[in-house]
Amino acid sequence: MKIKNICCIGAGYVGGPTMSVIAQKNPGVNVTVVDLNEKRIAAWNDEDLDNLPIYEPGLADVVKEARGRNLFFSTEVDKAIAEAEMIFISVNTPTKTYGIGKGMAADLKYIELCARQIARVSTTDKIVVEKSTLPVRTAQALKNILDNTGNGVNYQILSNPEFLAEGTAIEDLHNPDRILIGGDMDSKEGRDAMQALVDVYAEWVPKEQILTTNVWSSELSKLTANAFLAQRVSSINAMSELCEKTGADVSEVAKAVGMDSRIGPKFLKASVGFGGSCFQKDILNLVYIAKSYGLNEVADYWEQVIIMNDHQKRRFAANIVKTLFNTVSGKKIALLGWAFKKDTNDTRESAAIYVADYLLNEQAEIVVYDPKVTEEQIYADLDYIGTRSEVENRKLLKVVRTPFLACENSHAIAVLTEWDEFKSLDWKKIYENMLKPAFIFDGRKLLDQKRMKEIGFEYYAIGN
C-alpha cells in the first residue's frame, strides 16, 4: 500500500517537527497537520519563520522547503481525516489531575476524542498511528472504539513512538538511532500497515534502523527508554549531593564512570534536575501501570527517580537561601534561563519554575531572562502551580530582555538553563554591577569555576 495522504492530529512539539521532516523527505506525499488551536496553526503558517510556535534549530529551514509544496497546516480537522490513508495521533497525554490515578496515570481523554472523531468522519479504511506517548495496551482501547462504530471502515492501529530530544529534534529526525513501529504482526492487514509506514521512513532512514515489533512492545519501549534516561540523571544528581559533602567533584566522578564502556558518558551531567514533557510524566505512568498490576516493588523502584529529581530542585533553591545568610526576603535574584533545556522554548516541568516558586515563597524578588521563552509563558507557568495569585506573581517576578538587566543590582544569579550564550557573557561587567558579595549558583555546571572566582564571584555549583 502506497501512502499518498497523511494527516497528523496535533501541531505541537512532536507533531509539527515530525510531520515537517516526513514531508521534506517524501515530496510525493501530502502531509497535513491539523489542530483546533487557531493561533498555533496561524503561527505555523506565518510567512516570518521566526514566528513558528516551536523553536528548534533547523526547523525553519525544513518548514520553508516543504510548506505549501506538500506540507500544510490547517484547522480543518474533519477534511484532513477524511482524505488521509494514514492518520498520526500526536496530542497531549498529560498526567491526570483528577479521579482514579490522579497524579500518576496518563489522561487519555484527548486520545479518545481523536479516536471518536476519526470514527465519525472516516468512510475509507485508515491506518491510525499512535505518536503520542501512551500507556501499554492503549492501542486496544483505540481499536475497540474504532471497530465498534458500525460504518464498515477497517482500521489498523500502529504504535510509532518518538525518541526526540528537544533542542536536537531535527537532527534526531534526520539521523535517528532507530524508528520503532509496532503493529499486529499476526495478520496480513497488520503487516501491510506496518510496511506502509516503514516505506514512509525508508525514504531517508536505513532499513536496518527501522524496527518492527508487536504493538505492546512498542508502547512499553517508549516508557522504558525515558525511564532509563531519567534514572541516569537522578543517579548522577544523587551522587552530586554526596560529592558536595565529601569534597569530591561530581564532574570528575562522572567522567571516570562514563569512560567505562558498559556505562558510557551520556546523561551523566549533574544538574538542578530534569524537566520536559516526557520524563516525569512517563515514569509516573510506569509507576501507575506497575501498581495496577500489583507490582509494588517495581513501582517503588521507578518512583524513587522522581523523588530524587524533586529533591534536587528543592535543595538547590534551599541552598541559595542558606548561602544568602538564611534569608532572601527583599533580595533580587536573577534567574538565567527558564526553558527546561537549551535550544528549545519548551518550559514544561522546567526546574526553573520550581526554583522560582520556592524563592518567591521566601519573598525574594525574582528577575528572569530566557532568550526564547516569552513573558506570557513564564507567568502562565507560575500561575499554573497556583501557589500565589496572578497579581502576586506579576508583582514579585519580572521578565527582562537581556541578561545584563536581569543581573543588574542583584544579590545572586542562578543559572538554570544551559544556553550557550551564558558562557560568553561579559561576566566581569556583570560582577561590577551586582551587589557585593556577588553570588552565582550554577545549576547546570555551565560556567568556568576558576574564572568566576578570579572575577570575584562567590561561586557554587552542583556537585562541587
Cell of 266: 551520556
Q: Within 175-295, where are the H helices?
A: 188-201, 215-246, 250-258, 279-292
Verify whether residue 222 is a known catalytic residue.
yes
Length of the chain: 464
Choosing from 7, 8, 243, 278, the catalytic residue is: 278
CB 21 within 8 A of CB 28: no
Q: Within 100-210, where are the H helices?
A: 109-121, 138-146, 169-174, 188-201
In angstroms, the CA 340 to CA 165 distance is 12
CB 75 within 8 A of CB 41: yes
Choosing from 56, 85, 130, 162, the catalytic residue is: 162
Indicate the pairing of strand 126-130 with strand 458-461: unpaired
Choosing from 222, 331, 341, 445, the catalytic residue is: 222
Residues 6+ apart with CB under 8 A from 7: 32, 33, 34, 80, 81, 83, 84, 86, 87, 88
Number of H helices, E strands in the chain: 18, 14
Residues 6+ apart with CB under 8 A from 206: none
C-alpha distances out from residue 411 to 323, 435, 457, Å: 11, 5, 11
Verify whether residue 112 is a known catalytic residue.
no
Residues 6+ apart with CB under 8 A from 126: 84, 85, 86, 87, 118, 153, 154, 155, 156
C-alpha distances out from residue 196 to 28, 114, 127, 193, 268, Å: 14, 22, 9, 5, 38
Q: SS3 of 211, please?
A: strand
CB 435 within 8 A of CB 409: yes
- Closest by Cα among 410, 415, 459 to 430: 410
Verify whether residue 162 is a known catalytic residue.
yes
CB 199 within 8 A of CB 3: yes
Angle at 196 between CA 193 and CA 200, to 5 degrees: 145
In angstroms, the CA 415 to CA 396 distance is 19
DSSP class of 333: E
Would you please indicate which residues are annotated as catalytic (active-site) residues?
A: 162, 222, 278
